[in-house]
Amino acid sequence: MALFMDSHAIDGGVKASDVAQAHLADLQTQDRYGVRYLRYWVDEGAGRIFCLVDAPDAEAAIRVHREAHGLVADSIHRVVEGF
């Protein structure tokens, strides 16, 4: 497993409550792909969402978002936790 940070850009902004619902859908879907969505951050006005995910690979993380709610990230990067 590896850590990945993905980034979404939503034109016109985004509501934190909508992101919370999408995150719940991720949690309901993630086990099928051996993925764990750990945290997310939202900038409502800028329409930016960032998700931290523990996954076997980036494609598994992408599959969860696609199946759960269709909001596929604009980018995804492997990251190492800082100390």
Measured in whole angstroms, the distance separating CA 47 from the mean position of its chain's CA atoms is: 14
Rounded to the nearest 10 degrees, what angle do helices 16-29 and 58-68 cross at? 110
Q: Which amino acid is at 25?
A: A
CA atoms within 13 A on the CB side of 75: 6
pLDDT tens across 25-58, in order? 999 999 999 999 999 999 999 999 999 999 999 9
Domains of the chain: 2-79 (3.30.70.3090)
Instruction: Give which of 18, 66, 56 is closest to 40, Cα–Cα.
Output: 18
- DSSP secondary structure letter of residue 74: S
25 near 70, Cβ under 8 Å? no
pLDDT tens across 6-33, in order? 999 999 999 999 999 999 999 999 999 9
